[in-house]
Amino acid sequence: MPSIRLLLLTALLVLAATGCQSGPIGGAKALDLDEVPPALEAATGVNLTASDDRDLAKTVGSMLSVLKTPKIETDQRATAQSILEVGAEELAARSQNAEDLEDLALSDLPSRISVPAGLRGARLLFEDDERSDAYRLIQRVDQRYPSHALRDEAGDLLWEIGESYANDKRRRLFLFPYSNRAPGVFEYLATEYPTHEKSDDALVKLAQIYTKDRLFDVAIEKHRELVLWSPGSPYRIKSEAEIPRLRLADLDGPAYDRDAMLLALSELEAWIASYGNHELRGEVDRTLVDCLQRLADNDLIVARFYSTVKSPEGARQHAVRALEFGKRAGNPEQQEEIRTFLASIDEIERVDAPLILDGGINDAFLGDNGLGITGPAGLSNSLPTQPKRNEPKEEPANEGDASGDAPGGSGEGGNQ
């Protein structure tokens, strides 16, 4: 194990040492005034279109150094600027050195030179399997020139980087999957390049990744963004069908979040109304049946709750609604279960004495019963109060007594 640690330490030192070395462009710094004329004379004698990439990079770096030098003559500045722009444009078009191109992209040059240099450098990095550096360079170019003219080319490269990560089965340091880096690239493409032709593809990829990771709420958001931002996308109809399906998949069970089920139902019905003859109709119909069965189960759960607390009215209301959803779903077994429950309610109503509500606090229950269902007025969320029965009224002992102490004088009950 000590040998492995030593190797890792050595590798880190080498990386640190190489990282401190700058190329001729990135390492450009101000000259002494007496160094300016020789530098200009040397650069003037260079055939910029015929020199190799290394000599061309040195010339460009030399002119950057001249321009960084304070108090140079106006004609010297003009000469250096002219040589710099010609050499930099030539270098941006043909250099095979990604480091020189990155330095060129981040130097104080016009965007017509810096942007092509940056994107060419990013392409070379990507082809050399330096995907994270390529992605970072595109981001830096975008930060410097947010509305640059090569956004289509940059978007294409971002898509390639994201796809490469998404399909990569390898792991960094044997631990961290490279595929985990794909969402960040796709998110950047979809957010920063919303009009790019691959932005909807990026949103679809993101939705697939988040669905696989069971992040259903985030996947729904990606489908919604696609519908909103890319109304003409060929993926739009599919995304509209996926939203309610994922909404149902995100639920823990039929006892929870009825509002989400009802929203999914409305989305499914709207999809069928708009795209009834689409090839995805079969899948949507299956999702619709699932949604209806969940709603029926939800109502039946609540109906059983009301039955438990001896509230036949609430039990019947939800059981009847459960049966309606069950009929639409077309599941005979579910319908039979609901009908059996309804029959049991009839039996309870025949056996149990009717309740007379006494105006207590439970009679005003209109709130959530804890299952996302609003109970009917007059039904309690707790055990009902003791039933009251009409008792025969006793005749007062003294009809002329106005004190109110006699039975029936001012209490409950009335004439039989």
What integer is the mean pLDDT of 306-324? 93
Question: 153-163 as b/e, with b when 16 or more CB fall inside 10 Å?
Answer: bbbbbbbbbbb
Helices 131-144 and 111-127, packing angle to 10 deg = 170
Mean pLDDT across the stretch 336-364?
Answer: 66
CA dihedral (89, 91, 94, 97) positive or negative: negative
Check: CB of residue 178 under 8 Å from CB of residue 161: no
Q: Tell me how far apart the alpha carbons of residues 220 and 212 are, in angstroms, rounded to a whole number.
A: 12
Strands 171-172 and 176-177 come out as antiparallel
CA distances from 363 to 176, 198, 310, 312 (A): 59, 59, 14, 14
User: Residue 288 belongs to what H/E stretch?
Assistant: helix 281-308
- List of residues 6+ apart from 255 with CB closer than 8 A: 298, 301, 371
What is the average pLDDT across 4-20? 50
Residue range 83-95, pLDDT digits in tens: 999 999 999 999 9
pLDDT bucket at 351, cuts 50 / 70 / 90? low
What mean pLDDT do residues 321-343 have?
Answer: 95
- Convert the pLDDT of each residue in 49-76 to its tens digit: 888 999 999 999 999 999 999 999 999 9
CB 250 within 8 A of CB 217: yes
Within 10 A of 215 (CB to CB), how many other CB atoms are there?
A: 18
Q: What is the dihedral of CA 171, 172, 177, 183, to 10 degrees?
A: -140
pLDDT score recorded for residue 352: 54
Position 192 pLDDT exceeds 80: yes
pLDDT at 120: 97
Q: If we measure between CA atoms, which residue out of 14, 55, 63 comes closest to residue 35?
A: 63
The whole-angstrom separation of Cα 291 and Cα 170 is 39
In terms of pLDDT, which residue wins out, 200 or 359?
200
Alpha carbon of residue 221 to chain centroid:
5
Task: Collect all residues with Cβ–Cβ distance below 8 Å to 358 and sequence separation of at least 6.
Answer: 385, 388
Structural domain boundaries of the chain? Answer: 21-149, 150-231
What's this model's pTM, rounded to 2 decimal places? 0.74
Residue found by looking up tokens 């040492």 in the block = 17
Q: Are 170 and 178 in contact (CB under 8 A)?
A: yes
Distances (CA, A) of 116 to 137, 145, 147: 12, 11, 13
Average pLDDT of the segment spanning 29-40: 92
Tokens encoding 313: 């009215």
Residue type, 337: E
Q: Sign of the CA dihedral 338, 339, 340, 343? A: positive
Q: Measure the CA angle with vertex 244, ends 242 and 250; round to 5°.
A: 100
Mean pLDDT of the chain: 84
Name the pLDDT band for 373 (thresholds 50, 70, 90): very low
Are 37 and 73 in contact by the 8 Å Cβ rule? The answer is no
Q: Which of 143, 142, 182 is nearest to 162 (CA)?
A: 182
What pLDDT does 3 receive? 57
Q: Which residue has the higher pLDDT, 186 or 411?
A: 186
Which pLDDT value is given to residue 256? 79
Considering 129-133, 340-344, 404-408, the range whose residues carry the highest mean pLDDT is 129-133
Residues ≥6 apart with Cβ < 8 Å to 129 = none
**CA atoms within a 13 Å half-sphere pointing along the CA-CB vector of 157:** 26
Residue 58 CA to residue 175 CA, distance in Å, equals 41
